[in-house]
Structure 1
Amino acid sequence: MRLCVFPLAVLLSAALLPAQSFTPVRELKNLSPGAVAKLHTLETLDALPAADWHFHAGDLPHGESPALDDSSWPLVHGHSKAPKDAVWYRREIEIPKTLNGYDITGARVWFQFQADANGPMPQIIYFNGKRVALGDDLEPIVLFEPAKPGDKILVAVKLLHTVDDKTFRGVTLRIEPSSSGQRPDPDDIRVQCIAAANLLPQLKTPRPDLLPKVEAAVEAIDMKALAAADQTAFDASLRKAQGILSELHPMLSEAKVDLAGNAHIDAAWLWPRSETVDAVKRTFSTALQLMNEYPDYTYSQSAAQYTEWMAEKYPDINAQIKQRVKEGRWEIVGGMWIEPDLNMPDGESLVRQLLVGQRYFQEQYGVTARIGWNPDSFGYNWQLPQIYKRSGLDYFVTQKMHWNDTNQLPFRIFWWESPDGSKVLTYFPTDYVHDNVNPTRISADFAESAQRNPGTSEMLDLYGIGDHGGGPTRAMLEQADHWIEKGKTDAVPAMHYSTAQKYFDDVEHNLNPDSPTWNYDSLAKGYTAPPASAAGAVGLPTWKDELYLEFHRGVFTTQAQHKANMRNSEVATLDAEKLASFAWLDGKTYPAAELTEDWKKITFNQFHDLAAGSGIGIIYKDAQRDYTEVFHSDREISDAAINTLSATVDTHVSTGVPVMVFNAMAWPRSETVNLNVQLPEDAKSVRLLDAHGQPVPSQVVSQDAATHQFTLIARVKDVPSLGYTVLHAEAVTGNAKASAENDLRLDEKSDAITLSNAHLKLVLDRKTGCITSLVSLPANTEFLAPKACGNELQTFKDTPKQYDAWNVDPGTFDHYTPISSVDAVTVLTHGSLRDTIRVTRTWQKSHFTQDISLDAGADQVEVANDIDWQEQHVLLKAAFPLAASSAKATYEIPYGSIERPTTRSNSWEKARFEVPAMRWADLGDAHQGLSLINDSKYGYDAVDNMLRLTLLRSATWPDPDADRGRQRFTYAIYPHAGDWKQALTVHRGFELNDPLKAQQVFSHTGTLPTEHSWGTVENANVTLTAVKKAEDSNALVFRMYEWAGKASEVKLHVPRGAQYAVESNLMEKVEGSHLALTGDVVTVPIKPYEILTVQVFYSGSNVATK
């Protein structure tokens, strides 16, 4: 984006056209070699050569001075590298009499220096020692006007310090013929020839028979006259060629191009968010200024966060945007708070991206988005169409799938269908921002679109400057104006300023209803023929699968602490909402503003580069501050709600203290809970009684005699769903036992340690630390492969060719080095409730501690990891070779699951060698399987019978310290009979991430009993994820989803006092009539894989009115 241009950089004229890129292989395949060669010669008339530049690494005073002797500086060319520090480039530019025979006397010559550094590239430009421009993303600057043979100017360019090494791309010295208009522009002729050759065979009514016309136009150009510097004859031949080309205009005007200005702005990446605020301000100010100058120019913008920044910091800018939105020239797209990652955030987080974003757009501009807009995220989960559709968005735009490193999806526009049947019309532009409005490029893109979707007659083209903001420049708009006008008479497509919505409105009415269903399996089998165009309608498929990006596979793992914060903040905020909702029914004001601010912080930090771990270190420090604030806010909200709720509960005990155990899930739970208890008197130990006075198995972990405080674990049974149970903690004196039952067994031998309970038996090898056997005792079923090393830590050399923090390259997993030695294998605890084996290891510079635990009554094993990670370019996995396998493994995705192949028999399967998942992945057959559940990880792979969880990476760019240091996380090994659906793996994933929570409370009488549930879902295949107060009414919102593919009648038990219930969309817009409500039970149908929202309305004296 231009920051400052000095007087020499005058306003660009309507004839200013940056040099066209010349790519014969792609753009000129329909022309003869002779025609291609002639057009290539014409291209050389478009710009002065400026290949060699004197280069100085490092700063120096007055590097711009004409008196400076740079003769000893080395010469460099385009696409050369330079260091991060300030550098200088110098060259003298001289105007020749002719350029390859073409007289450029009187022309205007434009200068543009092109360099980048994976981020802002600030530069200072000097002509003859005078500074003429300063900033990054600079527009072309006039160098000579009018050009006279022999004129010379010394150009010096200083590139300032950057976050990454620089790449010098080259210099463009664009020649603009004299503005007198007396001479035809040879580059205009060249562009038309290329555009016509690209488009004629791919029009809605194909006309390859007219390609000879293009050949004739090229043939008419008199290259002998050019070689002889006969300007009159050469110009006459150009006019003749133009006349031939103009005859093609009626046919080429069938190709329509919607030009939508856009600025892809990264909220935080190679710069902190504070800098992004300024980038947004500059981008928006430029867009508004250009709208004043170009009355037809339109601009599209996503991310409500940017709107909030303008509304709060620059209200004058926001006021102008409101007016342009009203006029239809500023298009609101996306609907989300930010452009997030779309694989790793929980499904409810994606809903809140839209709820918070759409509400803010409505508040500020009176509109909401209808187009999902996330062009640069790193893959797209299969439930996204449903989330969009149920939020009022009917379309989706992304370009990222073009980045695939192995295969290309064979379509540009298609119906994208979620597992439940929800569909959004989806479009792949060729980039999120093009830096030109160039008919050679646009025609090639159009032709490719028509090949992939027969019958295409209209294309959406996004242009502008992106990443660090910028948007369309004046030069781009001049170029657009030029070719829009040319498109009325000449051999180029019919281009016009437009919006993405206008494109979808036009195209949606011209689609072939016969749409074949495709997915990755069908592509692997070769079903890639373009769908037919019927009666001129566009042929398009229905894609019923995820959109997996075959690139950037390391983003599921990099910056592990940030990913843990993402997961934990989602859990904490959803729990706080549930408690606050039930407290609201008891009369406490619902903390809507505080929770909205929490969600804004959570959703901002799910921005795709933040979530991916692909930013500089400072942005994760900013994120950590946000998360600290979110966790503090959630604790305050939860504590306040618990105080309100517990005040009405009968917690009275005659001795000892009461402890409430809370269950945030909508099903009863029996599991181990951590407790802190402070007794009023001295005690040797503590014992627990349940609400019925029966002993609760427990184990003291630690105690502080001075404060009478005990830390213990307890196995609590049947804690009510969305509810609590009250335990009674009392002192144990003398030699009384603190706990009841114990089914744990520990057998310690010289070569192995065996842990077992009534459900499982685990054998761990003392020499290697491997789990060598994992048996289900009721059926005596072995879950690990023979002679296998379960929980093997595998290391991989991880040196991607590019995009260090982003990429795990193909072939990375072909070879691994196991961490096969141990420092020690010891029994850490052998108690009445939990047995733990500690395995410690040292490998290279890193240290590993794994506590492998089996609890009494548990049917899963937990592995708590404490790692001091000090590696570089190493990837770490935990591997489990299983006794059972199948052709597909199942992975959790937002609000659902997906099957992916475990085979590698074709390019589509081979490309998916590292895949995203949320809380779990499962591999097995119809009889048995194993779920690998995690509390903060997102990368998995499964090959044949091997299931692996990716634990850590160690990239060095853009954050050289990414993931170095202490890492703590837990995963659970859950062997089960049957498949993952029968085993309720979905429930186990939620339980590991949101354990039962215990809190000591005061003893008193109350109206609520010692056990209580505020709600439950009777259907095991339906999981309730969120309970919150409605945004605009006295209703509670219950969100749930069906995950087993089974249509059901949901029985939703809700808090007492409900007046009526309705179904709504994800944006809380009521849909349909009242639902069946019998007592406190709502009955509502749910489709397979549906995300369902029910609003239950309350009234009465106890309900807080705010």
Structure 2
Amino acid sequence: MAGYTMHVISHTHWDREWYLTFQQFRMRLVDLVDNLLDLLDRDADFKYFNFDGQTIVLEDYLAIKPQNEGKLRKYIQNGRILVGPWYQLNDEFLVSGEATIRSLLLGHLIAEDFGVVTKVGYLPDQFGNISQMPQIFRGFGIDNCIFGRGLQLVEGRKTEFWWESPDGSKVLTMLMAFWYNNTQRFPEDPQAALEMANRAKNQLVPHVTTPHLLFMNGVDHLEAQDNLSGILKSIQEQLTEDQIIHSTLPQYVQAVKETHGEWETFKGEMREDRHCQILAGTLSSRMYLKQENEKSQTLLEKYAEPASVMSWVLGKEYPQDYLRYAWKLLMQNHPHDSICGCSTDQVHAEMMPRFAQVQQIGEELTHRALDFVASKVQTTEEANLFVFNPLNHDRSEVIEATVEFSLGPATRSGVHPIIEQAKGTDVLSIEVIDDEGKSVPYQIVNTEIITQQVLSPIELPLAQNFRRYKLLIFAQDIPACGYKIFGVRPSNKRPIGGSLSPEPNVLENEHLRVEIQTNGGLIVKDKNTGQTFVNCNVFEDVGDVGDEYRYVKPLHDKVYTTLNSSPSVSNVLDGPLCTKYRITYDFAIPESSAENDKTRSNALTVCQIITDVQLRKNSPIVEFTTTVNNTAKDHRLRVLFPSGKSPLSHPLLKGGRGYFSHAEGQFDVLTRPVRPPADWVNASPFYPQQAWVDVNNGQTGLAVINKGLPEYELYDDTQRTLAVTLLRCVGRLSGGGESPAAQKTPGAQCLGIYTFRYVMYPHAGKWEDAKVWKTAHQHNVPVRVIQTARHDGDLPGHLSFMRIEPANLVLSAIKKSERVDSIIVRLYNTTDEFVEGKFSFPGEAKEVNLVNLNEEFQRQLATSTNVVKFSVAPKQIVTLEVKRET
């Protein structure tokens, strides 16, 4: 192929925080932008600068230099500075699919405000790419992708190809095979500059399908090359057949498109891990960050936004500004150097206040919205429980609730005397009734006398005393995306008796029998299928001499498990609705690595592990809460669940049989082999998950559900054991010796006390048959309960604000539109089959439209109705817009 066009892209890759803190890097950012604006002012031949696909850099810069906003806007509007489509470049596997959509949505809003959105699906340094990214890009009108990690050049692979999502969405994709710095900075000498251009050309030519070559002029945190325009002229003067141009990513993409090549198609997720290219160890570095992120995401997506929509429909102002602020705070923690846990200790220390602030805002918004809705409900008791279900299916389950009865008026005098009188008195009996006045089974967990602040916008805080009951209630038929009221009143009735522990160290309900062995492992019998699982919830600890990016096994490792332990076991809660046992281990493991990381030390340290095993009435799951006091360094701690599953045939095996895991991803369920391909040298055998992972043989299966524990592995052992990582403890940012990332990070050893929550779910059939996602989401998104008083209201005792059917359609978002006064409802099809969907709601909508992920109109579905039917393709993401009657 003769006559190549070399597209030189001036850019920087902006890691907001990494081996320096955000504020340290921001000083460099301000210098970069100041110098860039000066360069654009004085050199008309320096045409373009690509700002890494981000818009958060505009906010970070203008917070310091607001006086330069006009100049920034000018150069963005005339196309010389290119920003967006992202808010920030988030890691794709460690955040929810909804969070990725929000980064693109917010990036579009900011870039639109500044003038122009760069419609390039830019993924320069994400540690692999999710399967549904082509569909997500298409949802924002982006038909292309340029990426750096996830696939590598192997024999026969070209740098241009189609990338296809499971729903069939395709984007034209270009691999930066020689990274985003293949012409990082041209030498000033004309001959040397030509030699650099030719080297880059010669690298690319064997692998490209078009005459257009991508030359990335920049790298992490580099400023624009201020003498570039002259250098490019000197190179062009020396070229005979080729041309070199100062270009942009959109111009390069358009040029490639116009060649109309016959490109091959790659389907699914990009996690090709030859030579640790995707840095898979970041799935488990600083696990506490992943847990806080899951908590924050769930709070905004499943509670604050849906509850705010409910209250908005009833007349309360929608808190758009606060929600956007909370999302921005959360997304500041989503870049790969942040959420992946691969930065300095100080960087990660500064992430925690962001998570805390997101949770403070989310909790307050949720409470205010639910309190407003509850105030509109007709209630009959002095104390009522408003139970909010944010999921798109009705629920009947044992729920946790707290109810308080006043012990006297609020005062300014601190502790009211009645609190002393109340101490030691008998617990008052209560009765729980549903909205039809029928008595509801409940179990008292504990009672206490408390003093609370009473806040008012017109008075100083007061103090008031209450008797608080912590209850378990068997709540039935809680409506989808709605609420149900339960009354609580003093009564002479005693709670129903009974036990879910028929004998010592045994938990049993309608579906499961759980026996605690002397070593602390569990024997779990599934009454519905007859399958038995042995040695469940055993802990395994191995050495790790890697770094924040990579798990590295010591040359002479020592593996420790709790199989031969003798833990203490005690029953800490029992009743007709729930029983709980506590298993306490003194787990002795090596205190650190030894002999220059070749092995583990002979000196042992005790890591106490306390696991609460819980079983609720009529529940098909075993719940675990495990607290670890980590006193060891340089190790990895996992919890194990042997599945005992036989091989299963699958198209990936081309007619053979083998072992596969099925894990929830972002708008997808991923099927993965037990081991990566043999030609992936130094590949990691562990994978990412969202809420659950499953292994089955077609007839029966076992799912493990988690909250914020994104790393799992399916062992290639006789029991096909599912392993979920709890802790990975290392002491270096990067062990490769590269500067400046080769820093000590003692905080990454994660010494101290950590708590983990996960679930075991035996089931019949495949994961699709068992609707594993439904059980997982029901566990991870529990109902929210607030107390409300007696009051008149127009709303009934139970109400569904909307329903999405069937259950194969999973709700992803209920929110207000970013641009207009309408409701946005997003859902996706988990299955490989077409689904006929039904969306219904009380009242009547002016119209219901299909919109894209950028909330732009696509087509009208219905007008003046409260029921809408629509078809959803396999693995399709659908966004609906509901315009209300005003």
Q: Same fold by TM-score, threshold 0.5 exceeded?
A: yes
Partner amino acid for 1:956? G
Q: Contact 1:376 / 1:398 at 8 angstroms: preserved in 2?
A: yes
Which residue of the partner structure matches residue 399 of structure 1?
A: 148
CA distance in 1: counterparts of 2:784 and 2:848, whole angstroms? 30
Deviation at 1:439, TM superposition (A): 4.6
Corresponding residue of 1:149: none
Q: Which residue of 2 aligns with 1:792?
A: 538
Alignment-derived partner of residue 207 in structure 2: 452
Q: Which residue of 1 aligns with 2:290?
A: 563
Report the Cα distance in structure 2 between the residues aligned to 1:1014 and 1:929, rounded to whole angstroms: 34
Deviation at 1:858, TM superposition (A): 0.7
Q: Does 1:416 align with 2:416?
A: no
Change (3 A) 1:727 1:813: farther
Note the C-alpha offset of 1:889: 1.1
**Structure 2 CA distance, aligned partners of 1:776 and 1:996?**
26
Which residue number in structure 2 is paired with residue 920 of structure 1? 692
Where does residue 179 of structure 2 map in the other structure?
Answer: 431
Counterparts of 2:468 and 2:77 in 1: how far apart (Å)? 63
Q: Which residue of 1 aligns with 2:390?
A: 664
Residue 738 in structure 1 maps to residue 495 in structure 2:
yes
Of the three residues 564, 573, 590, the one matched with 1:829 is 573
Q: Which residue of structure 1 aligns with residue 585 of structure 2? A: 841
Aligned to 1:341: 91
Q: Give the gaps of 5 or more residues in structure 2.
A: 187-192, 408-425, 451-465, 589-604, 649-658, 734-744
Flag the 1:322–1:465 CA change in 2: closer, same or farther, 3 A: same
Distance between the aligned counterparts of 2:80 and 2:297, measured in 1?
36
Question: Does the C-alpha gap of structure 1 residues 578 and 347 become closer, same or farther in structure 2, counting only changes over 3 Å?
Answer: same
Report deviation, 1:813: 12
Shift of 1:946: 1.8
Aligned to 2:237: 485
Residue 367 of structure 1, CA deviation: 1.3
Give per-residue Cα distances to partners, 1:306-340, cap 9 Å, x unaligned: 1122334323433323222233222224x111111
Is 1:272 matched up with 2:21? yes
SS of residue paired to 2:488: strand
Indicate the SS of the match to 1:313. coil
Counterpart of 2:457 in structure 1 is: none
Residues 1:588 and 2:282 aligned together? no
Q: CA deviation at 1:745?
A: 3.5
Change (3 A) 1:701 1:477: farther
CA-CA distance at 1:628 after TM superposition: 1.8
Correspondence 1:979-1018 to 2 at 5 A = 979-1018=766-805
Residue equivalent to 2:757: 970
**Distance between the aligned counterparts of 1:408 and 1:732, measured in 2?**
77
Deviations 1:509-560 (A, max 9, x none): 21334xxxxxxxxxxxxxxxxxxxxxxxxxx321102111523111111122
Displacement of 1:428: 1.6
1:111-156 per-residue CA deviation (whole Å, 9 max, x = no partner) reads xxxxxxxxxxxxxxxxxxxxxxxxxxxxxxxxxxxxxxxxxxxxxx
Q: Matches of 1:1046 and 1:925 in 2, distance apart?
A: 20
2:801 is aligned with 1:1029: no
Greater Cα shift, 559-568 or 1063-1072 = 559-568
Alignment of 1:859-938 (within 5 A): 859-885=620-646, 886=648, 887-903=659-675, 906-908=678-680, 911-938=683-710
Q: How does 1:234-633 map to 2 (within 5 A)?
A: 251=2, 254-297=3-46, 298-301=48-51, 302-333=53-84, 335-364=85-114, 366-401=115-150, 410-429=157-176, 430-433=178-181, 434-437=183-186, 438-453=193-208, 455-466=209-220, 469-474=221-226, 479-487=231-239, 489=240, 493-513=242-262, 540-550=263-273, 551=276, 552-574=279-301, 575-633=303-361
Q: Equivalents in 1 of 2:614, 2:813: separation in Å?
A: 31
1:816 paired residue number: 559
Aligned partners of 2:371 and 2:786 also within 8 Å: no
Q: Partner of 1:1086 in structure 2?
A: 872
CA distance in 2, matches of 1:369, 1:870: 49
Q: With CA pairs under 8 Å and 6+ residues apart, which has the higher RCO, 1 or 2?
A: 2
Instruction: Please list the CA deviations of residues 203-222 of structure 1 after superposition, one character each: whole Å capped at 9, or x if unmatched.
Output: x1xxxxxxxxxxxxxxxxxx
For 2:549, the equivalent position in structure 1 comes to: 806
Q: Secondary structure of 1:392's match?
A: coil
Identity of aligned residues (%): 23
Q: Distance in 2 between matches of 1:778 and 1:1089?
A: 30
TM-score normalised by the chain length of structure 2: 0.86
* Equivalent pair of 1:797/1:812 in contact (CA under 8 Å): no
- Match status 1:952 vs 2:727: yes
Q: 1:1019: Cα distance to partner?
A: 1.0
Residue pair 2:674, 2:685 contacting (<8 A) in 1 also: no
Relative to structure 1, the CA distance from residue 1055 to residue 582 in structure 2 (aligned partners, 3 Å threshold; closer, same or farther) is farther
Larger Rg: 1
Per-residue deviation, 1:811: 8.7
Q: Deviations over 1:826-879 (max 9, x none)?
A: 222222221112111223242211111111111100110111122211011111
User: Per-residue displacement from partner, 1:773-796 (whole Å, max 9, x unpaired)?
Assistant: 2221133222x2xxx422221112
| Structure 2 residue identity aligned to 1:639 | H
Question: What TM-score do the two structures reach when normalised by structure 1?
Answer: 0.69
8 Å Cα contact 1:284/1:317 also seen in 2: no
Corresponding residue for residue 757 of structure 1: 509
Query: Are the structure 2 counterparts of residues 1088 and 436 from structure 1 closer, same or farther at C-alpha, using a change threshold of 3 Å?
Result: same
Instruction: Describe the SS at the equivalent of 1:1054.
Output: strand
Q: How many residues align?
A: 794
Amino acid aligned to 1:794 = E
Whether 1:780 aligns to 2:524 is no
Provide the C-alpha distance between the structure 2 equivalents of 1:355 and 1:504, rounded to a whole number of angstroms.
Answer: 22
What secondary structure is seen at the aligned counterpart in 2 of 1:1017? Answer: strand
What's the offset of the Cα at 1:442? 4.4
Distance in 1 (alpha carbons) for counterparts of 2:788 and 2:403? 10
Structure 1 Cα separation of the partners of residues 710 and 555 of structure 2: 18
Partner of 1:127: none
Whether the aligned pair in 2 keeps the contact of 1:563 and 1:611 (CA below 8 Å) is: yes
Q: Which residue of structure 1 lines up, in the alignment, with residue 520 of structure 2?
A: 769
| CA RMSD in angstroms, aligned pairs only | 2.3
Which residue is 2:826 aligned to? 1039
| C-alpha distance in 1 between matches for 2:725 and 2:541 | 10
Question: Quick check: 1:847–1:868 contact (8 Å CA) kept in 2?
Answer: yes
Give the partner amino acid of 2:467.
H
Q: Tell me if the contact between 1:732 and 1:738 (Cα under 8 Å) persists in the aligned partners.
A: no
Q: Superposition pairs for residues 88-103 of structure 1, below 5 Å? A: none
1:645 equivalenced with 2:432 (yes/no): no
Please tell me whether the aligned partners of residues 45 and 229 of structure 2 are also in contact (alpha carbons under 8 angstroms).
no
Distance (Å, rounded) in 1 between the aligned partners of 2:768 and 2:406? 47
Give the direction of change, closer, same or farther, for the CA distance of 1:991–1:415 in structure 2 (3 Å limit). Answer: same
SS in 2 for 1:1080: strand
Give 1:451 shift: 2.8
**Which of 1066, 1069, 1072 is matched with 2:856 structurally?**
1069
Question: Is the 2:281–2:549 Cα contact (8 Å) retained in structure 1?
Answer: yes
SS of structure 2 residue aligned to 1:425? strand
Moved beyond 6 Å, runs of 4+: 810-815
CA distance in 2, matches of 1:860, 1:830: 17
Correspondence 1:686 to 2:430: yes
Mapped to 1, the partners of 2:583 and 2:42 lie a distance apart of: 69
Q: CA deviation at 1:1018?
A: 1.6
User: 5+ unaligned residues in a row in structure 1: which ranges?
Assistant: 1-203, 205-250, 514-539, 1101-1106
Q: Using a 3 Å threshold, how does the CA distance of structure 1 residues 617 and 891 change in structure 2: closer, same or farther?
A: same
Structure 1's 811 and 457: CA in aligned 2 closer, same or farther, altered over 3 A?
A: farther
Partner of residue 30, structure 1: none
